[in-house]
Amino acid sequence: MERRTPPVGRAAELDRLDAVVEGLAGRGARGGPGGGPGVVDLTGAAGIGKSRLLAELCARAAARGLTVLRGRATEYERHVPFGLFTDALADLDPDLLHALGAPEPAAAPVLYGVEPPPPPPPEPAAARTGAPPGTAPGTAPGTAPTGVPAAAEPLPPGAPDPSRRSEGRFAVHRAAARLFTALARRTGPGLLIALDDLHWADPASLELLDHLLRHPPHAPVLLAVARRERQTAAPLGAALTRGIDTGAVLRLDLGPLAERACVEHLAPGLPPARAARLYAASGGNPLYFLALLQGQGRGRGAAPGPAGGPGLAALLLDELTPLTGAQRRTAQAVALLGDHATPALLAAVTGAGRDGPGADGLDSDGHDSDGLDADLRALAARDLVRPGPGGSWALRHPVLRTAVHEDTDPQRRIRMHRAAARALARAGAGATVRAHHVERSLTSWEPERVAVLLEAADKAAATAPASCAHWLGAVLRVLPHDPAHGRRRLELMLARARALSVCGELRESRDLSYAVADAVAPDDATGLRAAAVTLCASMERHLGDYDAALSLLRRELARRPAPRPCDALALGLELGASAPHSTPFPRVRADVLAAFELAERLGDGPAAAEALALCALGETYEGNLDAAREFSARAGARLETLTDRDLAGRCEALARLGWAEFHLERFEAAERYADRGLAAARRGGELYILTHLLLCKAAVRMNTCRLDSARELADEAEGIARATGSGELLTVVLANRAQVLLAALPPGDRTALAVAEEAVAVAGGRRSWWASLAWCVLGYAALYGGDADRARAAMLHAGRDDLAGLQPSMRPLFLEALVASAVATGDLDPAREWARRAREEAGRLGLPTQRASALRSAAHLLAADGDPGAAARLCARAAEEAALCGATLWEAQSLLLGAALATDGTGPRMWHRGRRLARAGGAGLLTGLADLLPPAPPPAGPPPAPPRSALPGLTPRERQIAALVAEGLTTPAIAGRLYLSPRTVDTHLSHIYRKTGVTTRAALAALTARVGPAREDRAPRSG
């Protein structure tokens, strides 16, 4: 067995990795995922030893019996879809894959690339001589990374043809997760997926990795990634960081090696003074240290500079100085081809292929296949290149590859890429495999080569829209700016704008579609202009600029000649989508109904259903619930008749209908529509619509007290929203997530408050439905955080004049927060007015949850007026109302509030039921408050003596004020009793609320009465 040398100076890191592998193997033996981190995150600077440590982890995992898949991203191939994972799966034993049965069609892009691998081409002499020297033991002949002609194999039996797939990229993610789960369960101890140089990964691979982070496989699977922190995409870095807090991610940030370890292991016997100089110049970076050491051996000084900087590149390039011209060109070819540097492609790009020397304009100096083989051996002897699987070659380190690649003459790079593309075409490689080399060698308009990029873009559109947009951009760069190509340019620009919108690049999509709309004449009769305007307005809406969207749409609808009916329909539906976010629905009601009638005349069932869903949501928001129910029923009936194919591109209708049903408090129907919309959106890939569907389902789960799943849904929505760059979208996501966290976390946890504060900050000065919601949630978070004044101010800011800014169909619930905050500060007059308004509006709406909220508002006032028994009875009625529609969270809250106030012996029963509901649903806030306010002991027998410190954590002055609140005194009365200002009393009360977790004077009075004040807490009476 080959003896391995462990990485230098990383004993502590290796111990932690050993523990992770041991834990994973143990969980695999038990047949379950178990606990422990599911992700290892290795970070550090270039050359610090991440890849070496990752390789050691792979070796130790393999020694424990785990199946190991190792892939690496490469710097110059960042737009090859799923390249990181196809590289990893190239190591998979074909027999193991066959044992699992035919793979799912949706998993094909991850297994084989967006297109199937081509058949192997005729191999040159260099390839026929057998495996190159140093090929890893056990490497099967003909195996190599996907897309390498000399290494490609035909698809295994039953493998799908990815080029004929219709599944979207989210279906790919789920299928890949199931594949990894099956592999882990099949292989006993588990599965390790090691992904190196993650900072260079293609967008499709990053999306898949993000999915695996958020939805870990239910099997012993360990993901290990190595990356440079500063070059990692921000959303992925954030997702990994969040996993650290939950224990799902183990991060090892590799710093410089200690001087002793560096010198003793890398340069034993070096004179101490010289070793110290080299170490200081290297900064403890082993790659830089070795480069300096080799440079001094060739007579170069220790050039200063950061690891990975210009000084290192110069030292690495100096290693090429002794090479012959042919050897140097071979090294350049290896650098250019990356992981696909097989003998077949190397022969093609160095001129040693079947076309002979000088093919494709390359000067080979008579370089034949035998010469290529000799050059590779010479480069391997100098440790410049190392063998890989299936006869491929790679430079020994990515930093060396970068240095060699950038040092190659640009014109020569172009010629080599052109030769590689021609060789791949001769081998029958698909467009997505050739696209990288075609793009790199495309300097002018060449229709045949451009056709390859267009075909690749088309094939990647469903599963890798970022790559699709990239290749379309490459075509647009060389497309001639002349009238003959003008129309084609606009069509490609619009296609690229659509691809950008799907992958969440909303601003770039908006700008591009604006440019198309501006360039097309107003009398356009082809629909291109209308399509660009509709897309542009949609992007403006999702970015939060509703005024711009409305202006754009109304101007287009009013132009002459009028848009075609089908175009007018799309424009009208988008116009209606601005309500109720910033435009009152009554202002666009006629436009939406006109769009519905037009859809009916055109026989466009999906568009008609979308118009009805718009009406349902608009009327629901406004509180016109009879009309809302009618529109919702009609929209639902239409949607039931539509197939999933009919709904492609219409997922927003399901989101709107789901939200309408949610606000109508028909939670089961809301979740059903959300689930169907999620399935359709994951296939179609519209990120911004997926977010709304996730939030709708999260809101249902929160109100029905299923907080664990609600948190997962809200977390997923946040990751997507941040990736889109839309402040408007992020506002609503953060607001909804803060609501979920407020209900899920225990009293005193300020996470929800921080999230609500961010939502308000992101909303800025916007006045929209979602901005108002953000302020309302901040009000609730402040109220439960003990700051009644801030809560009141936030709710009033959300409501604006006469509270008209509060959502009409939920206004009673928001008014309850105002009532509670006013009662908490002793300001009862406005509290009475708000409670009266809540009662009237809840009666008009007739919604159980809103009626329950109005009853609780009245209960707050009764408790403040000294009638806790009547308040408790109202809370019991509120619980019954909430139970009518399945709003378990509000049922539990009503029961627990009533239990704290009950005086007739019903308190324990209410408490036990409320706490049981809260605990079963993961409602940490209510469970914690229940534990702070346990039921009074039964009357039989003497009550237990109260603890000496009746309200632990409070200062003597705070306990004194709490005792006076229990006596029923208002803030002015307490101020007079204690010779304090009312403002000072309110400040003390906010501290008391925060420390005890209660939010109202009634609850504080009940808590104080239960535990009883200590003697010194009682305040003297004035006079």
Element (H, E) at 410: helix 410-426
Identify the sign of the CA torsion 665, 669, 672, 674: negative
CA dihedral of 976, 978, 983, 984, whole degrees rounded to 10: 170
Task: Record the tokens describing residue 925, joined without a space.
Answer: 């806030």
Task: Record the tokens describing residue 627, joined without a space.
Answer: 């009309």
DSSP 877-942: HHHHHHHHTT-HHHHHHHHHHHHHH--SS-HHHHHHHHHHHHHHTT-HHHHHHHHHSPPPPPSSSP
8 A C-beta contact, residue 496 and residue 473: yes
DSSP 139-166: PPTT--STT-TTT--PPPTT---GGG--
CB contact set of 869 (below 8 Å; sequence gap of 6+): 901, 902, 903, 904
Cβ neighbour number for residue 200 with a 10 Å cutoff: 21
SS3 818: helix
Local mean pLDDT, 10-residue blocks, the chain (1023 residues): 68 91 71 67 90 93 91 88 90 81 82 61 39 32 30 31 46 87 85 93 89 84 92 80 80 90 83 85 84 65 45 77 91 89 89 50 56 91 86 86 90 93 90 92 94 93 89 96 94 95 88 95 90 94 87 91 92 85 85 94 94 95 95 95 81 93 96 92 74 96 96 87 82 95 93 93 86 95 93 94 91 96 93 96 95 97 93 96 96 95 91 96 95 70 47 77 83 77 79 76 74 50 43
Identify the sign of the CA torsion 882, 884, 887, 888: positive
Nearest to 344 by CA among 149, 553, 554: 149
Predicted pLDDT of residue 131: 33
Q: What is the CA radius of gyration of the chain?
A: 34
Interatomic CA distance for residues 221 and 224, integer angstroms: 10
CA dihedral of 874, 879, 881, 885, whole degrees rounded to 10: 170
DSSP 57-99: HHHHHHHTT-EEEEEE--TT-TTSTTHHHHHHHTTS-HHHHHH
Interatomic CA distance for residues 28 and 21, integer angstroms: 10
Task: Record the tokens describing residue 757, joined without a space.
Answer: 């504060």
Report field, pTM of the whole predicted structure over 0.75: no
Cα separation values, 233 from 203, 214, 236, 239, Å: 9, 16, 6, 10
Query: What's the burial of 5, exposed, middle or buried (CB within 10 Å: 0-12/13-18/19+)?
Result: exposed
Interatomic CA distance for residues 854 and 838, integer angstroms: 5
> In the beta sheet, which residues pair with residue 393?
341, 387
8 A C-beta contact, residue 956 and residue 1001: no
> In the beta sheet, which residues pair with residue 595?
none
> In the beta sheet, which residues pair with residue 2?
none
Cα separation values, 875 from 73, 344, 893, 1005, 1006, Å: 60, 79, 9, 16, 15
Q: Tally the residues of the chain.
A: 1023
DSSP tag of 443: -
8 A C-beta contact, residue 241 and residue 57: no
Interatomic CA distance for residues 456 and 431, integer angstroms: 5
CB contact set of 323 (below 8 Å; sequence gap of 6+): 331, 378, 379, 382
Buried b (16+ CB within 10 A) or exposed e, 210-240: bbbbbebbebbbbbbbbbbeeebbebbbbbb
Interatomic CA distance for residues 777 and 798, integer angstroms: 10
Nearest to 343 by CA among 146, 73, 148: 148
Predicted pLDDT of residue 137: 30
Phi/psi of residue 249, each to 5°? -125, 130
Task: Record the tokens describing residue 869, joined without a space.
Answer: 């028994």
Phi/psi of residue 394, each to 5°? -150, 145
CA dihedral of 934, 936, 942, 943, whole degrees rounded to 10: 40
CB contact set of 665 (below 8 Å; sequence gap of 6+): 847, 848, 849, 885, 887
Predicted pLDDT of residue 727: 85
Number of H helices, E strands in the chain: 48, 7
Interatomic CA distance for residues 812 and 835, integer angstroms: 8
Element (H, E) at 278: helix 272-282
Predicted pLDDT of residue 1021: 46
Predicted pLDDT of residue 17: 92
Amino acid at 25: A
Domains, the chain, in order of start with CATH, read: 10-112+165-254 (3.40.50.300), 956-1010 (1.10.10.10)
Alpha carbon 228 to its chain's center: 20
Nearest to 887 by CA among 704, 684, 661: 704
8 A C-beta contact, residue 309 and residue 402: no
Interatomic CA distance for residues 378 and 325, integer angstroms: 13
State the helix-helix crossing angle for 868-884 and 848-864, rounded to 10 degrees: 170
SS3 981: coil
Interatomic CA distance for residues 239 and 953, integer angstroms: 36
Residue found by looking up tokens 């994972």 in the block: 85
SS3 341: strand
8 A C-beta contact, residue 853 and residue 816: yes
Interatomic CA distance for residues 438 and 75, integer angstroms: 17
Cβ neighbour number for residue 524 with a 10 Å cutoff: 20
Identify the sign of the CA torsion 567, 568, 573, 578: positive
Amino acid at 131: A
8 A C-beta contact, residue 307 and residue 288: yes
- Strand order across the 39-43 sheet: 67-72, 191-196, 221-227, 39-43, 249-253
Task: Record the tokens describing residue 439, joined without a space.
Answer: 């793009």
Runs of H (alpha helix) within 623-705: 625-640, 651-663, 667-684, 687-703
Cβ neighbour number for residue 37 with a 10 Å cutoff: 21
CB contact set of 987 (below 8 Å; sequence gap of 6+): none
Residue found by looking up tokens 């979308």 in the block: 610
Cβ neighbour number for residue 284 with a 10 Å cutoff: 19
